[in-house]
Amino acid sequence: MQKSMEKIAGDTEGVAYEFPVFRFQGSDGNAPRAYLQAALHAGELPGTVAIDALMPMLEKAEAEGRIRGSITVVPWANPIGRAQYFLGDQQGRFHLGTRTNFNRSFPLVERPDPALLPDTSLASVDMKLKARLLALSFGHDIVLDLHCDDESVAYLYVPAELWPAMQDCAAAMGVEAVLLWRGASDSAFEEASVHPYLTGARDRLDKVVVTTVEYRGIGDVDGPLAKSDAEGLYRLLAARGVVADPAMSAPGAFEGVVAPLENIEMMSAPKAGAILYDVEPGDRVKKGDRLATIVHAPGEKDGRVEVLAPQDGYILTRRSHRITRAGDDLVKLVGAKRSTDARSGTLED
C-alpha cells in the first residue's frame, strides 16, 4: 500500500487543505480497478469508519498477493467541509464560501481523462477539490461514493442504465433498497462518474459500477456496523474480481426494494413544531397510515396535525431532528407507483 497526500490551495494566501489517498497496486492489468471515497459531505462518517475497517482486509489481501485490480481509497474526501464549524456545529454539506453543495456541480466530461477537466487555478477551493476527486476516480471501473442519510436503512442510488447488471453489488453489500435514477442530478459526483460511459462507451455499461452508498443514518457510527459494511465492500470487490478470494461465494440475487426515483414520496411538514413519528426506516405502510404527528400549538385544541401516507410503500428515511419548519421534508416513502409530486435527479439540496 502506498499513501500520498493531496493538497488543495485555499482561496486566500496561507490557507491550504490536505487529504490522504491510499493505493493498492493490482497484479493483473486487465482486472477491474476500484475507487472508494467517503465523507464528501464531511459530517457523514459511517463510510469513513467502514473504510477504516476495510483497510486491514485489503492489506492482508495485498500481503498474500490477492489484489488483482488496483484500488484507490480516499477515507476523508472533503477536508474543506471537515474544517467548517458554525456556533459549535459541524457544517459539511455545503461550502460556506459559495453556498454550494459539496456533492453538486462536478464537471461533466465526455471521457474519463483528467486533461478534459476545466482549469481550476482561479476557481473557488470547493471546485478545485471536486476536479481533483474526479481526476482521482478516472480509470476505475468501480466507483463508490460513501454517504449516509439522517435516519435510514442502507440503500444505493444507482444510474438506471447500470441496472440490473449491478444487482450482484447490491446483494454483496447487504443494502436494503436501491433507487434508480435517470437524467441529470445537478452534476453530483455519481453523475460525473457515469457520464463518460453514457455519452461514449455504452458497450461497457455491464462492467461499470457507479453508485452513491447511503450507509443508514448520520448517527450510525459504531464498530459492529463499520465491520459489517467493510465486509460488504470486500464482498463486492471479490465478486467483481478486484480481489481474489476463493473463500468468498458469489452473491445471490438482490431481494431488497428496487424503485425508480420518481416513486419517492417526500413527505413534508404541514406546520412548524415538534415531530412525533409513528414509523421507522424499514417499515411498510398502507395508504392513509399515519406517519407522524406535528405538535404545532402545544396544549391547545387542534394543536396537532397528522401526516398520512399518500400510497402504499416502504419507509426509506426520516429526519434525525425532532423540530421542524413548515415545508421541511420529514420522510422518504418509496411508493408502489409514481408520486404525484415526482422529483427526478436529486431529492434534496
How many beta carbons lie within 10 A of that of residue 15, not counting itself? Answer: 12
- Are 294 and 270 in contact by the 8 Å Cβ rule? The answer is yes
**Of the candidates 147, 296, 262, 163, which has an alpha carbon nearest to the alpha carbon of residue 212?**
147
∠241-244-249 over CA atoms, to 5°?
80
Predicted local distance difference test score (pLDDT) of residue 341: 87
Residues in the chain: 349
pLDDT in tens, the chain (349 residues): 999 999 999 999 999 999 999 999 999 999 999 999 999 999 999 999 999 999 999 999 999 999 999 999 999 999 999 999 999 999 999 999 999 999 999 999 999 999 999 999 999 999 999 999 999 999 999 999 999 999 999 999 999 999 999 999 999 999 999 999 998 889 999 999 999 999 876 778 889 999 999 999 999 999 999 999 999 999 999 999 999 999 999 999 999 999 999 999 999 999 999 999 999 999 999 999 999 999 999 999 999 999 999 999 999 999 999 999 999 999 999 999 999 988 777 888 8
What 3 state SS string does the chain have? Answer: CEEEEEEEECCCCCCEEEEEEEEECCCCCCCCCEEEEECCCCCCCHHHHHHHHHHHHHHHHHHCCCECCCEEEECCCCHHHHCCEECCEECCCEECCCCEECCCCCCCCCCCCHHHCCCCCCCCHHHHHHHHHHHHHCCCCEEEEEEEECEECCEEEEEHHHCCCCHHHHHHHCCCEEEEECCCCCCCHHHHHHHHHHHCCHHHHHHCEEEEEEEEECCCCCHHHHHHHHHHHHHHHHHCCCECCCCCCCCCCCCCEEEEHHHEEEEECCCCEEEEECCCCCCEECCCCEEEEEECCCCCCCCEEEEECCCCEEEEEECCCCEECCCCEEEEEEECCCCCCCCCCCCCC
| pLDDT at site 239 | 97
The Cα 147–Cα 155 span in angstroms is: 10
pLDDT at 201: 66
Question: At residue 342, what are phi and psi to the nearest 5 degrees?
Answer: -60, 135
C-alpha cell at 277: 413519528
Nearest Cα to 313, choosing from 279, 270, 348?
A: 279
Question: Which amino acid does the sequence have at 71?
Answer: I
The predicted structure's pLDDT at residue 349: 87
Burial of 312: CB neighbours in 10 Å, binned 0-12, 13-18, 19+: middle
The pLDDT value recorded for residue 259 is: 98
Q: Which residues pair with 243 in a beta bridge?
A: 67
Hey, what domains does the chain have and what are their CATH numbers? Answer: 2-255 (3.40.630.10), 262-335 (2.40.50.100)
- pLDDT value at residue 73: 99
pLDDT of residue 51: 98
The per-residue pLDDT for 295 is 98
Has this prediction a pTM greater than 0.95?
yes
Place of cell 414509523: 279
pLDDT at position 345: 74
Phi, psi of 19 (to 5 degrees): -150, 150
Select from 36, 31, 61 the least CA-distant residue to 51: 36
